[in-house]
Copies of this chain bind each other. A is one copy, B any other.
Amino acid sequence: MQTDSLLERRYRVLGHNSPLFYDKPLHLVRGEGVWLYDAEGRRYLDAYNNVPHVGHCHPRVVAALSRQAATLNIHTRYLDENVVAYAERLTSLFDPQLSMAMFCCTGSEANELALRIARDCSGGLGIISTAWAYHGNTAAVMQVSSLFTPEDRRGPYVRTVPVMDPYRDRAGRSDEELATAYADDVKRAIDSFSAAGVRFAGLLYCTAFSSEGLPTVPVGFMAKALAHVHAAGGYFIADEVQAGFGRMGSHIWGHQKLGVVPDIVTMGKPMGNGHPLAGVVARRDLVEAFTKSNMYFNTFGGNPVSAAVGMAVLDVIEEEGLRENAVTVGDYTLAKLKQLGERHTLIGDVRGAGMFFAVELVSDHQAKTPATAQTKRLINLMRERGVLISRIGMHDNILKIRPPMPFSQQHADLLVDTLDQVMETL
């Protein structure tokens, strides 16, 4: 009743098209660790949200936020210790080549800025992304976000490469062969720019290929693709909005797991544990060249409060061993999901790394037919049973499981047991 009325009020002032999860939207009032609580006091296991990276309302992060907000909050046109110390700490987590930081407030702004840098420094306009990518909501970033932008609205400066789908594409090929085939797709996109007389600027990839369905990328693919990119004078922009900050377990950054050093890295969502903090870390020569010919200033970007929050997030990741936890609990969860796959024929493939899992549902194991309708039902049934997950992929048939990082084996058990029960009822 209360929820209905809030929904009506929301429709009136935010409109009917502002995205909402679930057939029956969830009215939340409190969060703590991996738990969310609704207006009726019901508890939900959060196995979806990566923004509250170190856990909902982490007391250490809230304390840093509150303390700094009560002390000083100002822009970067004055000197401030917080932003400098944070930039030093952040860049120390990257290859020494990636030594400079620029701050903004959202992943969209970070990708906007990265596109501006790549285009300005290359002298080109052509950007390659994947055929099911999402990188943010600004006009320029939307053009390279094929997930929401059909080809006729992408303009002349965007090419997409097919989504990598080893689950379907493997066809007996070795990793080496598959990596070469995927890298050839990148080469073809570069050639297509040449043929159209468009100078190439760069390649923009989410390093987890999250919207694309979290494919298990063949070893060596990224290095082969980058060889083409660099040979053509372009830059590699690694979008770490989803993969970064230890999410993938084995490495802090997705590009490290892919075995390459990008030219430009963009970060967002988990960076401030929900506080609007995002940034670009890039090669010194690119940042200096870009800022020399382009005034870039972001009023809220890198303010002392955001910097203090970002620092607290890094502290918690390290001190609570959250990347290591993503390896151990991640491996445990993945193994349990694979066991589940042996009991339910609806599960076609289980994959993932660290604390990020994809469970692909198919109605036919041979034909690998996407079980889209069942996936949607399952997500809603999971919500009814108190576990929050979502779905991704070109056919919306892949469960997206990406919990806050302090996810434990007990939480994994609850997740997988609930999945098991719900799949019995499908």
Using a CB–CB distance below 8 Å, which chain A residues touch chain B?
3, 6-7, 9-10, 12-21, 25-31, 36, 49, 51-52, 56-57, 59, 61-62, 65-66, 69-81, 83-84, 87-88, 91, 99-102, 104-109, 112-113, 115-116, 137-140, 142, 148, 268-269, 273-276, 284, 287-288, 291-292, 294-303, 305-306
Name the residue of chain B whose CB is nearest to the CB of A293.
B17
With A77-B21, A115-B139 known as contacts, the answer to whether A109 contacts B107 (CB < 8 A) is: no
**In the complex, the 6 A-B pairs of residues with the closest C-beta atoms, listed nearest first:** A17-B291, A66-B66, A73-B274, A276-B276, A27-B79, A276-B300
With A105-B106, A106-B298, A137-B298 known as contacts, the answer to whether A288 contacts B16 (CB < 8 A) is: yes
13 contacts between A and B (CB under 8 A): A10-B84, A18-B291, A21-B78, A27-B80, A36-B74, A56-B72, A62-B70, A66-B69, A105-B105, A106-B299, A108-B109, A113-B137, A276-B276
How long is the Cα–Cα vector from A65 to B65 in the complex, in angstroms?
Answer: 9
Name the residue of chain B whose CB is nearest to the CB of A303.
B274
With both chains docked as a complex, state the minimum distance between the C-beta of A50 and any C-beta of chain B, in angstroms: 10
Name the residue of chain B whose CB is nearest to the CB of A103.
B14
With A15-B291, A28-B80, A115-B139 already in contact, 18 other A-B pairs whose C-beta atoms are closer than 8 Å: A10-B79, A10-B84, A14-B100, A17-B288, A20-B78, A27-B79, A28-B74, A28-B79, A56-B72, A57-B73, A59-B70, A62-B66, A66-B69, A106-B299, A148-B294, A274-B303, A276-B303, A276-B306
With both chains docked as a complex, state the minimum distance between the C-beta of A271 and any C-beta of chain B, in angstroms: 10
Interface pair A14/B57, CB less than 8 Å apart = no
How long is the Cα–Cα vector from A366 to B147 in the complex, in angstroms?
Answer: 60
Interface pair B29/A72, CB less than 8 Å apart = yes
Interchain CB contact (< 8 A) of A87 among B14, B61, B69, B104? B14
Interface SS majority for chain A:
mixed
With both chains docked as a complex, state the minimum distance between the C-beta of A349 and any C-beta of chain B, in angstroms: 26
How long is the Cα–Cα vector from A29 to B29 in the complex, in angstroms?
Answer: 35
Name the residue of chain B whose CB is nearest to the CB of A241.
B299
How long is the Cα–Cα vector from A425 to B149 in the complex, in angstroms?
Answer: 60
Interface pair A298/B108, CB less than 8 Å apart = yes
With A72-B56, A297-B137, A300-B274 known as contacts, the answer to whether A288 contacts B15 (CB < 8 A) is: yes
The interface residues of chain B lying within 8 Å CB-to-CB of A298 are 106, 108, 137
Interface pair B80/A109, CB less than 8 Å apart = no
Name the residue of chain B whose CB is nearest to the CB of A61.
B69
